[in-house]
Amino acid sequence: MSNIWYLRKNVIQVIVLSGPIGAGKSSLTSILAEHLGTQAFYEGVDSNPVLPLYYKDMKRYTFLLNTYLLNHRLAQINQAIQDKNSVSDRSIYEDALFFKMNADSKVADPTEFKIYDDLLENMMEDTPGNPSKKPDLLIYIHVSLDTMLDRIKKRGRSFEQISTDPSLKDYYARLLRYYEPWYEQYDASPKMAINGDKLDFVSSMDAQREVLKEIDEKLHEIGNL
Annotated binding site: 19-27, 151-155, 199-201
The C-alpha atoms of residue 48 and residue 52 are separated, in whole angstroms, by: 8
83 as an active site residue: the answer is: no
Q: Is 135 in the site for ligand ADP (CB under 6 A)?
A: no
Candidates 9, 56, 59, 155; binder of ligand ADP (CB under 6 A) is 155
Which of ligand LDVFA3IR, ligand ADP, none does 95 bind, CB closer than 5 to 8 A by kind?
A: ligand LDVFA3IR
Q: List, in sequence order, every residue forming a beta bridge with 141; answer none if it has no partner.
A: 194
What is the C-alpha to C-alpha distance for residues 141 and 196, in angstroms, rounded to an integer?
A: 5
Q: Among the options 46, 57, 83, 89, which is catalytic?
A: 89
Count of CB atoms within 10 A of residue 127's CB?
9
Is residue 45 involved in binding ligand LDVFA3IR (CB under 6 A)? Answer: yes
Residue closer to ligand LDVFA3IR (CB basis): 104 or 221: 104
Residues in contact with 221: Cβ distance below 8 Å, sequence separation at least 6, in sequence order = 190
Among 27, 139, 160, 171, binds ligand LDVFA3IR (CB under 6 A): 160
Beta-sheet strand order (sheet of 14-18): 40-41, 86-88, 14-18, 137-142, 191-195
Among 4, 5, 7, 26, binds ligand ADP (CB under 6 A): 26
- Closest distance to ligand ADP from the beta carbon of 101 (Å): 17
Which of ligand LDVFA3IR, ligand ADP, none does 69 bind, CB closer than 5 to 8 A by kind?
ligand LDVFA3IR
| CA atoms within 13 Å, Cβ hemisphere of 68 | 15
CA distance 75 to 88: 12
What are the residue numbers of the active site?
89
